[in-house]
Amino acid sequence: MSGGWWRRLSWAAVLLATFAGCRGPAPGKVPPSNDHWLVVWAEDVDRAHSDFLAVLAEDGTVVRTIPVKSSGNGPQGLNSELRRDRRVFATGGLTNRTFVFDLRDPRQGTLVTIDDPGTNRILAGPRGVATVPGGRALVACADEIGYRGAPREVLRSPGGLRVLDDDGRFVSDVPARDPAARGFIVAPAGIAVQPSLRRLVTASQGHGVTATARGEPVAGITVQLWSLSGPTFEKNLVLPAGARGDENLGPRTPVFLHRKPALVVNANEGGGVYVSDTMDLPEPVFRLVADLGARARPDGAAVTPDDRFYVTALAGSGRVVSLALGNLHTAREVSSVALDGASSDGAAPLAMSLDGTRVAVSDGRRVRLLRLDPTGRLRTDGSFHDEGSGEPGVDFGRAAWPHGRTGAARPRALLFVSPGE
């Protein structure tokens, strides 16, 4: 298989999948021609200085940092796809804030909006972000405002979705407070949208993201199915346990396939990878297709444009793995690359370029770039290196940044971007 054939196939798949749900010139998903810039949503380690968005060039050079003028936000996620308007939405789980950046020119990116709700909203703990046709942003919120972790709150205090307009202004909070949600932990973390199905999915990793939460996070075992109309909560879908009995704990990152009505979701605490190829039916069913291990802690994930390979970062075992999806009844490990070590908090953000050939990943300190070839093989891209040490990957433990000598930061979310108009 030639590299040119692979690139043409990848772009064709990207175009078909992207335009399936987009209408007219409104902000939404669009395939970039040169998404070689990488943005990183970073947390100031000692919380003494501002959190910030870092803009990294193709070779790893930090060309710009954009402070958000506040610290201790608990950075969580970025929008999972490049928007047509080149806005980047970044969430802060501890302060309930969402920050919106204008990245039309990555070298001159700016902070344009801060949604700072205080205590006047229904929901808190914003995490993942997705874009829907028309440009609105849907933010997965793990908790109700004021959630503390009392036993009765675990099942009776569902999270839900926050709706922001394309400029980042608040529209509404939509909790999953419905009879169909009772008896389950509903604490959305990851979010995925499939416009052609008029559906979206959130994954309940667990309660306990907000600053008011006490005790250990409580993991869920379900994903939530929502209608794009509204959005409206429809139902919980249970991930079945496997031979160990706990592979389904803490569903983290849902990813829709591009060509089929199918969804892949990993379980951060359980280590399972689940697939449903019936997402177009009223009652989608999931099956366990891979067990990555009880200590694997899968986090960030993506699927290649041709739907052949699923890539996920394993925070617990310090690896990135590619799995061949085959007939969707099983997932076979094809390749893996070791990171510098396991993540201490089970977080390992990951992003994939739209052509499916580049994967960015972080172990909590260093951001690395991997190459994914047409056979599913992963390798480290040594041309993406730290401008100070020259070693592969960009070290966020440095003392100085373009915005000042604020010390070490922790990469929390990643997104490939390209310039726009």
| For residue 25, cis peptide bond before it (omega within 30 degrees of 0) | no
**What does CATH list as the number for 3-417?**
2.130.10.10
pLDDT in tens, 332-342: 999 999 998 88
Q: What tokens appear for 335 in the block?
A: 């390749």
- What is this structure's pTM? 0.90
> 5 — phi, psi (to 5°)?
-60, -40
Q: Summarize the confidence of residues 202-215 as an average pLDDT.
A: 89
Which pLDDT does position 220 carry in this prediction? 93
Residue 195 in this model has a pLDDT that exceeds 60:
yes
pLDDT attached to residue 32: 44
How does residue 2 score in pLDDT terms, banded at 50, 70 and 90? very low
Q: 185 has which bridge partners?
A: none
Check pLDDT > 50 for residue 233: yes
Does residue 9 surpass a pLDDT of 70?
no
- Average model confidence (pLDDT) across the chain: 90
Q: What is the pLDDT of residue 30?
A: 42
Q: Is 210 or 274 the better-scoring residue by pLDDT?
A: 274
pLDDT at residue 20, as a whole number: 38
SS (H, E, C) the chain: CCHHHHHHHHHHHHHHHHHCCCCCCCCCECCCCCCCEEEEEEEECCCCCCCEEEEECCCCCEEEEEECCCCCCCEEEEECCCECCCEEEEEECCCCEEEEEECCCHHHCEEEEEECCCCCCCEEEEEEEEECCCCCEEEEEEEECCCCCCHHHHHHCCCEEEEECCCCCEEEEEECCCHHHCCCCCCEEEEEEEHHHCEEEEEECEECCCCCCCCCCEECCEEEEEECCCCEEEEEEECCCCCCCCCCCCEEEEEECCCCCCEEEEECCCCEEEEECCCCCCCCCCEEEEECCCCCCEEEEEECCCCCEEEEEECCCCEEEEEECCCCCCCEEEEEEECCCCCCCCCCCEEECCCCCEEEEECCCEEEEEEECCCCCEEECCCCECCCCCCEEEECCCCCECCECCCCEEEEEEEEECCCC
Domain ranges of the chain: 3-417
Please say whether the beta carbons of 255 and 264 come within 8 A. Answer: yes
Q: CB count, 10 Å around CB of 49?
A: 18
What average pLDDT score do residues 244-262 get?
Answer: 97
First-last CA distance in the chain: 35
Q: What is the pLDDT of residue 1?
A: 37
316 compared with 421, residue with greater pLDDT: 316
| Pick from 26-40, 139-153, 158-172: least confident | 26-40
